[in-house]
Amino acid sequence: MVLALLGLAVFAIPMIIIAVLVKCDSKGPALFKQVRMGKNLKPFTCYKFRTMCLGAFEKGGIANSESDSRITKVGAFLRRTSLDELPQMFNILNGTMAIIGPRPILDFQFEPYKDNRRYVRRYDALPGLFCTVDLDLRATADRPTQFEMDAQYVDDMSLVLDIKTFFGILSTVALGKNVYQESKK
């Protein structure tokens, strides 16, 4: 919580600038909110900066391709730098997310795996702004790989692992690696 408050203080002005850029780039609100599955499978509202045109999800689901025409110009930059995730600091402050933990996903993304007890372990922790999958694979990980890494994170959770994960992810994000499923850079 202290880190989230510090993050909000540091990123308050950049977040305002990003919100203005999102609004200027396309119609619609600057923030995107969506119900995701949290700890113990409890639904919560997850906040992000909007990176796609208004109504994009209804027009074709989740964007996993850099060439997806629904992604706005500002949105492409926000995704590459992970700045679209900054509003999730509000989720951290309200206790629905942590800085490190399995990434929050939509219910339908987990549906095919719900009977795999190992994968369900991912819901024994708060979802995170960053996760161990982000260290190398980011969006290029398939769901079984992601869920196995999430379960392993839950098994091994510790402050040391969180610190290593956090600093490792900074370099991955700074290099813009593996933002989309096809990017395997």
Kindly report, residue by residue over 73-118, the tens digit of the pLDDT. Answer: 999 999 888 899 999 999 999 999 999 999 999 888 899 999 999 9
Backbone angles phi, psi at 82, to 5 degrees: 65, 15
User: Six-digit token pair at 182?
Assistant: 């096809």
Please report whether residue 183 resides in a domain.
Answer: no
Higher-confidence position of 163 and 185: 163
Q: What percent of the chain has pLDDT over 90?
A: 56
Backbone angles phi, psi at 158, to 5 degrees: -165, 165
Please count the structural domains in the chain.
1
CA gap 177, 125 in Å, rounded: 26
Higher-confidence position of 139 and 34: 34
Residue 184: predicted pLDDT: 45
Please give the average per-residue pLDDT across 147-163, as a whole number: 94
HSE-CB for 70 with a 13 A CA cutoff: 15
49-58: long-range contacts at Cβ-Cβ below 8 A with a sequence spacing of 24 or more?
Answer: 49/18, 49/19, 49/22, 49/75, 49/78, 49/83, 49/84, 49/86, 49/87, 50/22, 50/26, 50/75, 50/84, 51/75, 51/76, 51/78, 51/79, 51/84, 53/26, 53/27, 53/28, 54/26, 54/27, 54/28
* pLDDT over threshold 60, residue 178: no
Residue 38: predicted pLDDT: 96
Please report whether residue 129 resides in a domain.
Answer: yes
Q: Whole-number mean pLDDT of the chain?
A: 86
Please report whether residue 135 resides in a domain.
Answer: yes
* pLDDT over threshold 50, residue 185: no
160 pLDDT tier (thresholds 50, 70, 90): very high
| 57 closest CA partner among 43, 41, 68 | 68
User: Six-digit token pair at 123?
Assistant: 């819901």
Residue 183: predicted pLDDT: 45
* Region of poorest pLDDT, from 5-19, 34-48, 153-167: 5-19
What is the span of the domain harbouring residue 100? Answer: 2-174
Please report whether residue 181 resides in a domain.
Answer: no
Non-local (6+) Cβ contacts of 143 within 8 A are: 109, 112, 113
Please report whether residue 182 resides in a domain.
Answer: no
174 pLDDT tier (thresholds 50, 70, 90): low
Please report whether residue 180 resides in a domain.
Answer: no
Please give the average per-residue pLDDT across 125-130, as a whole number: 95
* pLDDT over threshold 60, residue 177: no
